[in-house]
């Protein structure tokens, strides 16, 4: 502002600071503008979700469709019956969310290496972490304990 107005706006007087005449002249208007911006960006105080009517397109992995979305749909049906949902399969999620074709994408971390305009416009949030466990019978013909590193299965499996 100092450069734009070509005025120091605040000057040292002894051990304190005082506004310049130009700053005093602008103080009320600047205060009003800051309050208007604050009102503009402040979240709404309350929204009656029972009255909201909106359709959402959600791109979801099969995992999300089975493990996450049923609870979302159940709760939305209770609290916001005017919401409707369409679930589509994963297909170019970054571009489709960025373009507005899809409102939400529930999948793995596809945003990790994205740069440019999309990276600054899309928001991500970690919803959950999962640990997968595999069980194998001791008598399984693989003969070794399973591991993520080894895919050593016999060429032919003969059940007993």
Averages of pLDDT over each 10 residues, the chain, 160 residues: 90 91 91 88 82 94 90 94 94 85 83 67 76 74 60 48
Please name which of 93, 117, 116 lies closest in space to residue 105, comparing C-alpha atoms: 93
pLDDT at 159: 47
CATH number of 49-121: 3.40.190.10
Please name which of 60, 57, 124 lies closest in space to residue 90, comparing C-alpha atoms: 60
pLDDT at 107: 83
pLDDT at 110: 62
pLDDT at 123: 76
Q: What are phi and psi of 120, to 5 degrees?
A: -85, -15
Q: Is residue 82 within 8 Å of residue 54, measured between CB atoms?
A: yes
């Amino acid at each position: 502002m100092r450069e734009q107005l070509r005025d120091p706006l605040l000057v040292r007087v002894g051990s304190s600071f005082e506004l310049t005449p130009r700053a005093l002249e602008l103080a009320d208007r600047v205060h009003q503008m800051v309050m208007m911006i604050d009102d503009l960006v402040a979240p709404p105080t309350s929204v009656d979700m029972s009255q909201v009517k909106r359709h959402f397109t959600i791109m979801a992995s099969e995992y999300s469709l089975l493990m996450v979305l049923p609870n979302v749909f159940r709760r939305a049906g209770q609290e916001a019956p005017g919401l409707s949902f369409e679930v589509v399969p994963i297909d170019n999620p970054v571009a489709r969310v960025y373009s507005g074709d899809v409102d939400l994408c529930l999948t793995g971390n596809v945003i990790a290496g994205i740069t440019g305009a999309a990276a600054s416009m899309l928001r991500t949030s970690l919803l959950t972490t999962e640990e997968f466990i595999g069980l194998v019978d001791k008598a399984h013909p693989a003969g070794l304990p399973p591991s993520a590193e080894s895919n050593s299965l016999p060429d032919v499996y003969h059940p007993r």
